[in-house]
Chains A and B, each alone.
Chain A
């Protein structure tokens, strides 16, 4: 591995560098991913191309191996963190070019519920997939969700609950959206251990996400579908 250690990213051609960045994302190496991002930009790659081919594709691979039980949670968090470093470089450039960002998510644990580890993992996976995530924390009531939607204009509203006694509040939030006529402006994703697909449909959400990896996949899929339909 000593060769790898002393690897000079600038010596690689574009294809090799992109492949190396996939591996560096996989290994959770934030510095190296940031360096690779800058090198590609310096070679005249547009930020959208860097994002899609180097970062998003790299995280897709991470997601596959996480799903298959090869990667562990702490490793995925490291990878997501490396992705965030690359995104931090790209985000202002993407905004300047007027490119459509991957998406924005407002997420929170619903009122009455103080459990947030699962929700935090979902947030990190979404960030790892390139989403901008606004995390409202725990014990979030409908007003707070509505205010955040108004302020951030996200693509997705994500709600989490761990308890059977708090999950019905998701319906309250969705009812408040409907009341204001803004339900269809957002993709609503729900998750948490006591939920299932049937519950998600009953409260009027767009999808139930059973784990963080599925949440990230579902978010990408539904945002893309909505944009394609628009």
Chain B
């Protein structure tokens, strides 16, 4: 018999089945670490020209900061020329303010430290869909989202190894009063997941409630030097920041928490139709917003966001996954790197109503530029349909699988001895297959990304299994995930304090629909 003392028996069928079924034992990869240089589409001279033009807009036209006298005072004191609510930034001022104090890279801490995410540099963080009033699935079709849907989507995100962040308003829980639903949303992110999450921005008080709930989880002092929550502040393009978004941004910045500053641009409607025009306006609006945040609290983390798509000039409807927004993404990503702040854009965007071929193509045409362009924080990475009006359960599952593929792709080419595989080729020689070689046996299990949603079987096998398309397969997957979901442990004291806070806040005001 063999002299080999290494364990040979691995437990047979039961052990293998258990190991293969439980992929959660695979090491947690908390975010992508890109190994390749980002793809660029504009020359240095071109980027400098766009920056010059953005400064021209900030100086000559200026940006409206509406309904927030405190913001106007802050910007005036910093050297802006303020005429009424119109704020003119002298050339270079916004950039100087941002570069003086905004971190290039920061960590968002999660209640499970293994899930902390790096935001900026060569990291890419995938977060799910955000903001959809509707949800859809194959069983119940399209309907308004509820808090039950919201909790389901938090759970699915928690269980998806390829999504790194719990996100924020994954769907809008339309069944709850407008002035209270943020409490249940933040509560769900904390209770049903241990990944990092986002808070509310629909009113400054709701942003402050969100931060307060984060303090309950992490401790009051912890937030002073740790980022644990993000708020998403969108510019009201073109060239307007409104009081709600400024108030929310201020609430997060004052608590030293992170603000995503995102001009929301559908080129043709809120910006010029050209790539350079949309990029220029995005840069001007984002710099104005980020400068404001740095004036509120120097050093508070900001993320330069760009949501840019085009519209159908036949109908005015937004379009996704088309070439021009990809060019905008690549361009603005390069501008963010030159500015020296983390960048948010992209996702798995589509105008399709269901998880069909249009949804897949358009999402892929968005997700690939997202990753190749070096986006640091990716909202809408999973579930997005219908231009964001709907989050689809099946689409969510299919998108999360694609995010996993990106995770493998960005690791690049392994040139270690094992990666070179020269010995394997020499030993195997011409004409012999590699399925049984020592090198294959040592590597096969992790050699290739394994899709959970693709069917690679023979036609006959596929037919026998019921002619299922990818959406039908995804339907079975999310149902199984929800059946198997188990909540991560939550400190009982935190649990109780959270419940008390939510109950007390709800009792403190009547239900309101605004």
A residues touching B (Cβ–Cβ < 8 Å)?
1-2, 4-5, 7, 20, 22-24, 26-27, 29, 31-32, 35, 61, 65, 70-74, 77-78, 81, 117, 120-121, 196-197, 210-211, 214
Counting chain B CB atoms within 10 Å of each CB, the highest count among A27, A120, A197 belongs to A27
Please determine whether B9 and A72 come into contact, CB atoms closer than 8 angstroms.
no
Q: Does B440 contact A (CB under 8 A)?
A: yes
Please determine whether B7 and A35 come into contact, CB atoms closer than 8 angstroms.
no
CB contacts (< 8 Å) of A71 on chain B: these are 16
Q: How far is the CA of A227 from the CA of B13 in the complex (A)?
A: 32
| CB-CB nearest 7 A-B residue pairs | A23-B12, A210-B458, A4-B9, A77-B436, A117-B433, A210-B460, A5-B7
Please determine whether B1 and A35 come into contact, CB atoms closer than 8 angstroms.
yes
Please determine whether B459 and A210 come into contact, CB atoms closer than 8 angstroms.
yes
Q: Does B107 contact A (CB under 8 A)?
A: no
Please determine whether B460 and A24 come into contact, CB atoms closer than 8 angstroms.
no
Please determine whether A26 and B13 come into contact, CB atoms closer than 8 angstroms.
yes
Question: Please, could you name 6 A-B residue pairs with CB atoms under 8 Å apart, sorted by A?
Answer: A1-B11, A7-B9, A27-B11, A70-B20, A74-B440, A120-B433
Q: How far is the CA of A115 from the CA of B21 in the complex (A)?
A: 34
Q: How far is the CA of A69 from the CA of B497 in the complex (A)?
A: 46
The residue that B7 contacts in the complex, of A1, A23, A74, A214, with Cβ under 8 A, is: A1
Please determine whether A77 and B16 come into contact, CB atoms closer than 8 angstroms.
no
CB contacts (< 8 Å) of A74 on chain B: these are 435-436, 440-441, 444
15 more CB-based (< 8 A) A-B contacts, given A71-B16, A210-B458: A1-B11, A4-B11, A5-B8, A23-B11, A23-B12, A26-B13, A27-B8, A27-B10, A65-B16, A72-B445, A74-B435, A78-B436, A196-B459, A197-B460, A214-B460
The size bracket of the interface on B is: 20 to 34
* Chain B, Cβ-Cβ closest to A197: B460
Contact flag A1-B17 (CB < 8 Å), given A74-B436, A120-B433: no
Q: How far is the CA of A111 from the CA of B466 in the complex (A)?
A: 36
CB contacts (< 8 Å) of B20 on chain A: these are 70
Please determine whether A23 and B13 come into contact, CB atoms closer than 8 angstroms.
yes
Contact flag A210-B9 (CB < 8 Å), given A31-B1, A74-B435: no
Q: Does B2 contact A (CB under 8 A)?
A: yes
Q: How far is the CA of A78 from the CA of B16 in the complex (A)?
A: 14
Please determine whether B461 and A23 come into contact, CB atoms closer than 8 angstroms.
no
Please determine whether A70 and B7 come into contact, CB atoms closer than 8 angstroms.
no
CB contacts (< 8 Å) of A197 on chain B: these are 460
Please determine whether B2 and A31 come into contact, CB atoms closer than 8 angstroms.
yes
Please determine whether A210 and B16 come into contact, CB atoms closer than 8 angstroms.
no
Q: How many A-B residue pairs have CB under 8 A?
A: 75
Please determine whether A1 and B9 come into contact, CB atoms closer than 8 angstroms.
yes
CB contacts (< 8 Å) of A24 on chain B: these are 9, 12
Please determine whether A210 and B461 come into contact, CB atoms closer than 8 angstroms.
yes
Counting chain A CB atoms within 10 Å of each CB, the highest count among B12, B16, B433 belongs to B12
Interface string of B422-460 (1 = CB under 8 A from A): 000000000001011000110011000000000000111
Please determine whether B13 and A22 come into contact, CB atoms closer than 8 angstroms.
yes
Interface string of B9-33 (1 = CB under 8 A from A): 1111100110011000000000000
Q: For the complex, would chain A's binding face be called helix, strand, loop or mixed by DSSP majority?
A: helix
* Chain B, Cβ-Cβ closest to A64: B13
Q: How far is the CA of A29 from the CA of B433 in the complex (A)?
A: 21
CB interface residues, B 247-292, toward A, < 8 Å: none
Counting chain A CB atoms within 10 Å of each CB, the highest count among B436, B440, B445 belongs to B436
Please determine whether B12 and A22 come into contact, CB atoms closer than 8 angstroms.
yes
CB contacts (< 8 Å) of B10 on chain A: these are 1, 27
Counting chain B CB atoms within 10 Å of each CB, the highest count among A23, A35, A73 belongs to A23
* Interchain nearest-CB distance for A22 vs B (Å): 7
* Chain A, Cβ-Cβ closest to B460: A210
Q: How far is the CA of A1 from the CA of B441 in the complex (A)?
A: 21
Q: How far is the CA of A5 from the CA of B11 in the complex (A)?
A: 9
CB interface residues, B 1-59, toward A, < 8 Å: 1-2, 7-13, 16-17, 20-21
Contact flag A70-B16 (CB < 8 Å), given A77-B436, A78-B441, A120-B433: yes
Q: How far is the CA of A3 from the CA of B440 in the complex (A)?
A: 28
Please determine whether A73 and B13 come into contact, CB atoms closer than 8 angstroms.
no
CB contacts (< 8 Å) of A5 on chain B: these are 7-9
Contact flag A72-B444 (CB < 8 Å), given A77-B436, A121-B435: yes
The residue that B13 contacts in the complex, of A61, A78, A211, A214, with Cβ under 8 A, is: A61
CB contacts (< 8 Å) of A81 on chain B: these are 436
Contact flag A211-B461 (CB < 8 Å), given A1-B7, A23-B9: yes
* Interchain nearest-CB distance for A44 vs B (Å): 23
CB contacts (< 8 Å) of A72 on chain B: these are 444-445
* Chain A, Cβ-Cβ closest to B4: A31
* Interchain nearest-CB distance for A50 vs B (Å): 19
CB contacts (< 8 Å) of A73 on chain B: these are 435, 444
* Interchain nearest-CB distance for B312 vs A (Å): 42
Q: How far is the CA of A22 from the CA of B15 in the complex (A)?
A: 13
* Chain A, Cβ-Cβ closest to B441: A74
Please determine whether B444 and A29 come into contact, CB atoms closer than 8 angstroms.
no
CB contacts (< 8 Å) of B17 on chain A: these are 65, 70
Please determine whether B7 and A77 come into contact, CB atoms closer than 8 angstroms.
no
* Interchain nearest-CB distance for B390 vs A (Å): 31
* Interchain nearest-CB distance for A161 vs B (Å): 15
Q: How far is the CA of A96 from the CA of B34 in the complex (A)?
A: 64
Contact flag A26-B460 (CB < 8 Å), given A74-B436, A74-B441, A120-B433: no
CB contacts (< 8 Å) of A70 on chain B: these are 16-17, 20-21
* Interchain nearest-CB distance for A35 vs B (Å): 7
Q: How far is the CA of A175 from the CA of B55 in the complex (A)?
A: 82
Contact flag A2-B7 (CB < 8 Å), given A77-B436, A117-B433, A210-B460: yes
Q: How far is the CA of A78 from the CA of B213 in the complex (A)?
A: 55
CB contacts (< 8 Å) of B7 on chain A: these are 1-2, 4-5
Q: How far is the CA of A121 from the CA of B435 in the complex (A)?
A: 9
Q: How far is the CA of A31 from the CA of B459 in the complex (A)?
A: 38
CB contacts (< 8 Å) of A32 on chain B: these are 8-9
* Interchain nearest-CB distance for B15 vs A (Å): 8
CB contacts (< 8 Å) of B16 on chain A: these are 26-27, 65, 70-71
Q: How far is the CA of A22 from the CA of B16 in the complex (A)?
A: 13
* Interchain nearest-CB distance for A80 vs B (Å): 9
CB contacts (< 8 Å) of B435 on chain A: these are 73-74, 77, 117, 121
* Interchain nearest-CB distance for B135 vs A (Å): 30
